[in-house]
Amino acid sequence: MINSRNVDDLLPEVKEMVNAFIALCKKNGIDIIITSTYRDNESQTALYNQGRTTKGAKVTNAKAGESYHNYRCAADFAPVVNGKINWNDTATFTKCGKFAEQCGLEWAGRWKSFPELAHVQFTGGLSIKDLKAGKKIVFKKVEVVQPVPEIVKPIPEPIVIKPVVVEPIVIKPVEPEPVAPAPVVIEPVIVVEKSVEAVAESAVEPSVNQFSKFINLILGFFGKQTK
Ligand SMILES: [Zn+2]
């Protein structure tokens, strides 16, 4: 019949958490003792019978195989003040329970039904039924508080299709060519120089001829011709 108080009888990871819990309480000025860790089925049965078929007060509702203590993942503790355990010191139990939670343990003092101020455990979400079926508790390292950097896949650079800037074809209005003013053609004045004789002829002869014609006209008028 085994009813251990030794943390070495816990699962290694649970032992680590319980040791951290003990240390955290100590750091905060509270000495605790571990009153129970692992219980075999025989021990559990004896405990279950207490207050039922044997004398004493009831201490558990769990039969053999129905306590987490039977699976090495639970521990009972008690704060020791001035060398004594005060089982009714709810305030100190509660303080310790919060330290246990900081160490990754579940504190049974928070349970709605049948709260146990002195009980802590780590079940990894497994039920007694799971454990009976042989499932193993999966532990996560609670010490690792730094977020593990995610391996971020490089996001491919988006293909930026730059808009092709099409230069607008500016059709410039064809400015009318300034119409050059038509050159003023100064036509050379052709001066036909007449010979002196011609000039004399044109100046004298016509007048002579015209005069004689005039005379002839008059004479003819009068019926007498000078020619
Ligand atoms: Zn317990």
| Shared-domain flag, residues 202 and 99 | no
| Shared-domain flag, residues 124 and 193 | no
| Shared-domain flag, residues 210 and 106 | no
Report pTM: 0.62
pLDDT in tens, the chain (227 residues): 999 999 999 999 999 999 999 999 999 999 999 999 999 999 999 999 999 999 999 988 999 999 999 999 999 999 999 999 999 999 999 999 999 999 999 999 999 998 999 999 999 999 999 999 999 999 977 554 455 566 767 777 777 777 766 676 767 777 666 666 666 666 666 655 555 555 455 444 555 667 777 777 877 777 655 44
| Shared-domain flag, residues 114 and 204 | no
Q: Which residues surround ligand 1, an ion (CB under 5 A)?
A: 76, 119
Question: Do the domain assignments include residue 157?
Answer: no
Residue with tokens 């500016």: 170
| Shared-domain flag, residues 22 and 105 | yes
Distance (angstroms) between ligand 1 centre and the Cα of 71 equals 12
d(CA 70, CA 120): 13
Angle subtended at Cα 190 by Cα 186 and Cα 191, rounded to the nearest 5 degrees: 130
Residue 99's CATH number: 3.30.1380.10
Question: Do the domain assignments include residue 29?
Answer: yes
- Residue 206 has a pLDDT of 53
Distance (angstroms) between ligand 1 centre and the Cα of 145 equals 28
Question: Do the domain assignments include residue 58?
Answer: yes
The total domain count for the chain is 2
| Shared-domain flag, residues 126 and 29 | yes
| Shared-domain flag, residues 127 and 225 | no
Question: Do the domain assignments include residue 106?
Answer: yes
Q: What is the pLDDT of residues 69-111, one digit of tens each?
A: 999 999 999 999 999 999 999 999 999 999 999 999 999 999 9
- Residue 92 has a pLDDT of 97
Distance (angstroms) between ligand 1 centre and the Cα of 117 equals 9
Contact present, 57 and 38 (Cβ < 8 Å):
no
Q: Which domain holds residue 222?
A: 188-227
| Shared-domain flag, residues 120 and 25 | yes
Question: Do the domain assignments include residue 211?
Answer: yes
